[in-house]
């Protein structure tokens, strides 16, 4: 069974949609996806990439088509509670450092679930640290320890290292998946990811 890395940033709605579908893929394949927090803005700088909202703002029909494709994905997978965040785009630096800190504290699954839901189902302004802290506290997470650890040089460096490693493996955006040495980008590549897992298992 190959190692499967999921390079994600909370600021990507497509990463959230993948997060909702990944458990079903894991159940069907018996594979495990390793969530790797990266800083999407940092990856954009490394690659010269831009967000789709910026890159395709002046392209006729493409943004409209992308919204149709997103809705098709949502319908196919029965994701009934997704909605675009009214505060988008949001600076996710503190959130992503928090994800690294949550890994260190052994609460990353609960942290990721809460932050993704706050961002893409509850529509909260996740650029407000006080609001984020209150929500994490409501979820029973160790807010003070998370916040303190997220500000340490070690956590900050690990997020930078994750982002650099994603770039080195060929990533240019989120969501990205690494199956063995093979990179797959975008929510619509989850089918290809699952097929790659199946081929590896058969071999």
Read off the CATH number of the domain in which 50 is found: 3.40.30.10
Name which residue leads in pLDDT, 3 or 192: 192
Provide the edge-to-edge strand list for the sheet that holds 4-8: 33-37, 4-8, 176-179, 182-185
User: Rounded to an integer, what distance in angstroms lies between the CA atom of residue 62 and that of residue 129?
Assistant: 34
User: Rounded to an integer, what distance in angstroms lies between the CA atom of residue 5 and that of residue 66?
Assistant: 25
Q: What is the DSSP string of 151-188?
A: TSHHHHHHHHHHHHHHHHTT--SSSEEEETTEEEESGG
Number of domains in the chain: 1
Residue whose structure tokens are 């803005």: 41
Check whether 177 has a pLDDT greater than 70.
Answer: yes
The whole domain housing 124 covers: 4-202
According to the model, what pLDDT value does residue 56 have?
80
Task: List pLDDT tens digits, range 134-165.
Answer: 999 999 999 999 999 999 999 999 999 999 99
Tally the residues of the chain.
203
Of 156, 175, 193, the closest CA to residue 7 belongs to: 175
Mean of pLDDT values over 34-62: 91
Check whether 203 has a pLDDT greater than 80.
Answer: no
Check whether 99 has a pLDDT greater than 70.
Answer: yes
pTM: 0.94
């Amino acid at each position: 069974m190959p190692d499967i890395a999921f390079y994600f940033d909370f600021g990507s709605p497509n990463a959230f949609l993948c997060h909702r579908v990944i458990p079903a893929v894991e159940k069907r394949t018996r594979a495990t996806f390793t969530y790797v927090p990266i800083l999407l803005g940092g990856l954009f700088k490394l690659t010269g990439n831009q967000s789709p909202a910026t890159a395709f703002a002046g392209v006729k029909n493409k943004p409209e088509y992308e919204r149709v494709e997103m809705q098709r994905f949502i319908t196919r997978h029965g994701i009934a509670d997704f909605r675009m965040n009214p505060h988008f785009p949001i600076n996710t630096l503190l959130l992503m450092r928090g994800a690294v800190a949550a890994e260190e504290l052994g609460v990353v699954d609960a942290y990721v679930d809460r932050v993704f839901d706050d961002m893409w189902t509850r529509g909260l302004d996740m650029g407000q640290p006080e609001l984020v802290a209150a929500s994490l506290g409501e979820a029973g997470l160790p807010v003070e320890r998370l916040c303190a650890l997220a500000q340490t040089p070690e956590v900050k460096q690990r997020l930078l290292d994750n982002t650099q490693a994603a770039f080195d493996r060929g990533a240019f955006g989120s969501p990205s998946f690494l199956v063995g040495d093979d990179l797959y980008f975008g929510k619509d590549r989850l089918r290809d990811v699952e097929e790659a897992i199946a081929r590896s298992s058969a071999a």
